[in-house]
Amino acid sequence: MSRVALVTGGSRGIGEAISRALQAAGYSVAATYAGNDEKAAAFTAATGIKTYKWNVADYEASAAGIAQVEADLGPVEIVVANAGITRDAAFHKMTPDMWNDVVATNLTGVFNTVHPVWPGMRERGFGRVIVISSINGQKGQMGQVNYAATKAGDLGIVKSLAQEGARKGITANAICPGYIGTEMVRAIPEKVLNEVIIPQIPAGRLGEPEEIARCVTFLASDDSGFINGSTISANGAQFVV
Ligand code: CAA
């Protein structure tokens, strides 16, 4: 029977590409979304991948949603914590709500997504935790004190989980995408994107969601068991660590 993969924020953007790639690799995929019913329905119609609606910032909703996924498809053995939001503003204009929303989704949301599946992974002696962090968690970014803090925090989560899970056959790794051609990046003021950001990318272009999805299928594989606690940077050489 195929392994079950859960992808949060899995019906749009990078998450959609991840869901599709995991399905193509033979996994049984469940994709979550937070609000866009229309897009989720279109995604399911196009792919046959079932979607589930919950807010990753809400622990109880996450635990109940994951229980439903497991009742429908079987135990979650691959979890991709991908759901994330931006609330960009210069720090002097950043409100507490902008801080709290981003922390709740991008950082606490990872805890809420992984924590409910962790005991089952430990019991079964197998698990793959893949967290989608960001280049901006590695290097910082003007306008993103909130986002960069959460994405750096996600790296701390992964490095710690890797050490806790290794003896139980569980790996935890992060992917740090650079600027990928999704709605989130297209929301950056056009002049800033074209005149400031793209010229900073030695590859001379935005990344494609599929380029991140391929990193996920690689890490999800049964053969990737010794890769643990690592970070894959996929950013067109914009930031080299
Ligand atoms: N890098 C370098 N310079 C930047 C910049 C960036 N990312 N963003 C803005 N600037 C520069 C602008 O070019 C401008 O310079 P000049 O004064 O010389 O013209 C200056 O900063 C002020 O910019 P704004 O006029 O836009 O000022 P603002 O206060 O209205 O907004 C901002 C500031 C919030 C930083 C806004 O410019 C912005 O949103 N920038 C993009 C921030 C960003 O990179 N977000 C990433 C979103 S995608 C993502 O998060 C996915 C991921 O993981 C990579």
Tell me the pLDDT tens digit for each residue of 199-223: 999 999 999 999 999 999 999 999 9
Q: How far is the CA of 86 from the centre of ligand 1 (A)?
A: 12
Residue 52 CA neighbour count, 13 Å, CB half: 26
Buried b / exposed e over 108-122, threshold 16 CB at 10 Å, is bbbbbbbebbbeebb
Q: 132 with 16: CB under 8 angstroms?
A: no
Protein residue closest via CA to atom 42 of ligand 1: 143
Q: Which CATH architecture has domain 4-232?
A: 3-Layer(aba) Sandwich (3.40)
pTM of the shown model: 0.96
- Judge whether 76 and 120 are in contact, CB under 8 Å: yes
Cα separation values, 128 from 27, 43, 218, 239, Å = 13, 24, 11, 26
Partners of 128 in the β-ladder:
78, 171
Amino acid letter for position 42: A
Q: Using one digit for the tens of pLDDT, what is the confidence trace for 85-136?
A: 999 999 999 999 999 999 999 999 999 999 999 999 999 999 999 999 999 9
pLDDT, mean of residues 153-176: 98
Q: Are 26 and 2 in contact (CB under 8 A)?
A: yes
Pocket of ligand 1 (CB under 6 A): 86, 88-90, 134-136, 141-144, 147, 177, 179, 184-185, 188-189, 192, 196-197
Report the separation in Å between the CA atom of 238 and the middle of ligand 1, taken as the mean of its atom positions: 16
Q: What is the pLDDT of residue 121?
A: 98
Distance of CA 238 to the CA centre of its chain: 20
Contact 153, 167 (CB under 8 A): no
Give the start-to-end residue ranges of the domains of the chain: 4-232
What are φ and ψ of residue 7, in 5° steps? Answer: -120, 115
- What pLDDT, in 10s, does the model give residues 93-107? 999 999 999 999 999
Residue nearest atom 24 in ligand 1 by C-alpha distance:
192
Q: If DSSP codes are grouped into helix, strand and coil, which group holds residue 192? A: helix
Read off the pLDDT of each residue in 189-207 and give the average, rounded to a whole number: 96
